[in-house]
A and B are shown apart, each in its own frame.
Chain A
């Protein structure tokens, strides 16, 4: 990590655990998220093995009981979204990039920033600890629908259910604190000369994601308190026998839950915008249009939540409205994807590892996008709702978001973060070893879903239609894909830790990029900029006619 010692009196604890430096906090989020990602991956291994070989002992886990299966799928979903995608995409990249990219020395409120991570760490500890309590960790799905989640008599994980809620609520508070900080920093602390349209796309996206998160999570925080009281203090907010309504939770959850998809999507497409432009040596195709389509997506995504509830017992007339809004949200997203593809036109594309991830992100995310149409169209959703088709669909969005863009971002900013280059060959091995098996996992699951496989089912033995050998073979095939994909992650981990010490030393701007973080040494010293920069142009001035260099850093005067 960073080699310079800003204040000689700082000890290890002060420097790495109590620091207010945005770069250290970013690393804290990154490593916590990566550790949680390993847990989430392990859980995926456990339940995929159970599905492929039902009833057999899973190496490294043992026999999976129905209760454990529920716990494992619940925790996989919760961890991957709340403790991997959120901290890595928003908090790690946001913390590291925002001050550097807008040309200032730190976040506007460094101590709030530190508090945000500490609360997040606490939430992660609470969640992991819930595995150890009596009854085990929560097993009522990451959506936590009451009455199942509201009563220990129903879910049989009473302590786990409450700890899960506490952990999620703490995580929300952490990201609210982090989010307001990001928003204020990006609004107020930009370098002189940096107008709204000179802000790198990834900063825009992380800030917009923070605003979305803030605007959607509030009701669910209140709802979580109510659910906690239902569990522990015998209230009846969600209990129909006592005047409550189980659908209320579903509305509160999905009013947050759907925007949440875009909360993690936006930073990912921001990262991809940086990668595509740098490695294609191209200006972003329609910067402003991308920004407007993002705003449109942000707004419409607040009006689509009930498409998760078409058959949940809501008024069937409501489904029509939400079908329309759901297809409507595809309009700006399609435009955005088309603009990304168009950005490649006329470029001079260098296929380093980060660029492979970026192109793969676009390619795979489109599959996730179009399969969403089947589910947003209320007619087909009757059949496909809560089948593996849904699982395959959202993994085709979430895996590009939380895996592809993150690896793209990490391999791109690694030299800036750690001062050394990653090995490009190992990076490419890891890329192909991840991208190909990813499709091998989820294409079969589209088929099993279309054949009626219902979700969160630990064993299909009692279902004649689902027990057909061909479906079981597809499940085994998917599990095989996962095993290969997990194995190749070892290549990344090796590359990551080996390069920390043995990678080639990185100069300040190894990719010849325009944005401000590349104007400082790698890794940046405490305080980032020796002399705070002034900005003269937008972030994507590549291949400007009449210049010798094909790039034009933002801080170079005309």
Chain B
């Protein structure tokens, strides 16, 4: 159901979408039942001359069961929702699938920046690739992200991945994602972080292995990168201009 509003581009997007659909179906059913009951009773028992009201306390068994039985069914539905909700949560936030790549994500007022291993494939070496506002990842690869904030609370959100995690100053919070569809997707900050909150946009570019390899060569070779359209500085300048306005 969520797919109709926004593409899913990670492996767990589907499980969240299915959960959303399940909840929508169950609560939708009960909402409709209850609204029909409300409006039908309102209509049926509208004031009519010569029809007195019935004196009902709510303790009559044959009437109370009209409330009790639906209520028990609602509780059953609660459990039917709760179990898959917890399973989805467990799979996304509490398990760590085998990690193939690691990326560091930094939030600060008001930009996302990323640190990825360079051609040597090892983080914290001289050839690490640092980008601002743009994250390049390979499709069908499981990434571990290590999320930090340099100042206030931010929230690292990639709606198409159905990924969201707050970044807290003073801690590193890690999680994972596995993109499964090539394309360019938005990165948002979903926690208000000052006047540039709306400018804290980024993009995650999901590439095929070949594209990613090509990008890796370009990015780790400054002479080549120079000739490209300037990505990071342009975003920075526009942010400043936007905020100054």
**Does B41 touch A at the CB level, under 8 Å?**
yes
CA distance A394 to B32 in the complex (A): 19
Binding-face segment, B77-85, B121-129, B209-217, B218-226 = B77-85
A-B contact count (CB 8 A): 292
What is the CB-to-nearest-CB distance from B23 to chain A, in angstroms, rounded to a whole number? 5
Assuming A241-B170, A341-B41, is B71 touching A543 (CB within 8 A)?
no
**Residues from chain A with Cβ under 8 Å of B56 in the complex:** 282-283, 285, 345-346
Which of B5, B155, B188, B193 is within 8 Å of A450, CB to CB? Answer: B5
Q: Are A379 and B89 in contact (CB under 8 A)?
A: yes
Check A313–B81 contact: CB distance below 8 A. Answer: no
A-facing residues in B31-74 (Cβ within 8 Å)? 31, 34-35, 37-39, 41-42, 45-48, 51-59, 63-64, 66-67, 70-71, 74
Identify which of A66, A283, A366, A454 contacts B196 (C-beta below 8 A): A66
Nearest Cβ distance between residue A413 and chain B, in whole angstroms? 21
Chain B residues near A317 (CB, 8 Å)?
A: 94
Contact B152 A154 (CB under 8 A): yes
Q: Among B64, B92, B157, B203, which residue has its beta carbon within 8 angstroms of that of A454?
A: B157
Judge whether B198 and A459 touch: CB under 8 Å: yes
CB within 8 Å of A: which B205-245 residues: 242-243, 245
**A303 contacts the other chain (CB 8 A):** no
Q: Is the CB of A335 within 8 A of B67?
A: yes
Q: Is the CB of A456 within 8 A of B30?
A: no
A463: B residues at CB distance < 8 A: 186, 188, 201
- In the assembled complex, the CB of A146 is this many whole angstroms from the nearest CB of chain B, namely 8
Quote the shortest CB–CB distance from B216 to chain A (angstroms): 24
Do A346 and B54 touch across chains, with their CB atoms under 8 A apart?
A: yes
Closest A residue to B159 by CB, please name it: A452
A465-B198 Cα distance, complex, nearest whole Å: 14
Nearest residue in A to B243 (C-beta to C-beta)? A66
- CB-based contact B78/A313 at 8 Å: no
Q: A66-B198, A350-B47 are in contact. Are A313 and B16 (CB under 8 A)?
A: no
A146 to B152, CA, bound (A): 7
Alpha-carbon distance A197/B15, docked complex (angstroms): 48
Which of A173-181, A383-391, A483-491, A493-501 is the interface stretch? A383-391
Min CB distance, A54 to chain B, in Å? 9
B75-117, CB < 8 A from A: 75, 78, 81-82, 84-90, 92-94, 109
Q: Are A462 and B198 in contact (CB under 8 A)?
A: yes
Are the C-beta atoms of A462 and B194 separated by less than 8 Å? no
Question: Which B residues touch A312, using CB under 8 A?
Answer: 153, 166, 168
| A370-B5 contact, Cβ under 8 Å, with A70-B192, A247-B168, A380-B19 | no
B139 lies within 8 A of chain A by Cβ: no
Taking the closest CB of chain B, its distance from the CB of A88, in whole angstroms, is 25
Assess the B166–A313 pair: CB atoms within 8 A: yes
Interface residue? A447 (CB, 8 A): yes
Residue interface mask A336-350, B partner, CB < 8 A = 1: 011101111111111
Are A342 and B63 in touch, CB under 8 angstroms?
yes
Chain A 137-167 residues near chain B, CB threshold 8 A: 139-141, 145-148, 154-156
**Residues of B close to A378: CB separation below 8 A:** 85-86, 88-89, 93
Q: Given A367, A380, A451, A452, which contacts B85 in the complex, CB threshold below 8 Å?
A: A380
Find A383's partner among B47, B162, B197 (CB 8 Å cutoff).
Answer: B162
Q: Distance in Å from the Cβ of A300 to the closest Cβ of chain B?
A: 13
Q: Which residue of A lies closest to B51 (CB)?
A: A348
Contacts of A156 in B (CB 8 A): 194-195
A539 to chain B, nearest CB (A): 13
Q: Which one of B19, B28, B166 contacts A311 once the chains associate, using CB atoms below 8 Å? A: B166
A385–B190 Cα distance when bound, in Å, is 8
Interfacial chain A residues near B242, Cβ < 8 Å? 66
Q: How far is the CB of B33 from chain A (nearest CB, A)?
A: 10
A464 at the interface (CB under 8 A from B): yes
Contact with A along B15-26 (1 / 0, CB 8 A): 110011001100
Minimum CB–CB distance for B112 against chain A, Å: 12
In the complex, residue of chain B having the shortest beta-carbon distance to the beta carbon of A540: B57
Q: A545 contacts the other chain (Cβ, under 8 Å)? A: yes
Cβ of A214 under 8 Å from chain B: no
17 A-B pairs whose Cβ atoms sit less than 8 Å apart in the complex? A66-B199, A66-B243, A140-B192, A240-B170, A286-B67, A311-B155, A312-B168, A324-B82, A344-B45, A349-B46, A359-B42, A370-B31, A377-B81, A382-B92, A383-B20, A455-B192, A464-B203
Which residues in A have some Cβ–Cβ distance to B below 8 Å? 65-67, 69-70, 139-141, 145-148, 154-156, 240-241, 245-247, 280-287, 289, 310-313, 316-317, 319-320, 323-324, 327-328, 330-331, 334-335, 337-339, 341-351, 359, 362-363, 366-367, 370-371, 373-374, 377-380, 382-383, 385-387, 447, 450-452, 454-460, 462-466, 542-545, 550
> B interface vs A, CB < 8 Å?
1-2, 5-6, 15-16, 19-20, 23-24, 27-28, 30-31, 34-35, 37-39, 41-42, 45-48, 51-59, 63-64, 66-67, 70-71, 74-75, 78, 81-82, 84-90, 92-94, 109, 151-153, 155, 157, 159-160, 162-171, 173, 184-186, 188-199, 201, 203, 242-243, 245
Give 9 A-B pairs besides A363-B38, A380-B23, A451-B5 with Cβ atoms closer than 8 angstroms. A334-B74, A337-B34, A344-B38, A345-B41, A370-B30, A373-B23, A383-B162, A454-B189, A462-B199
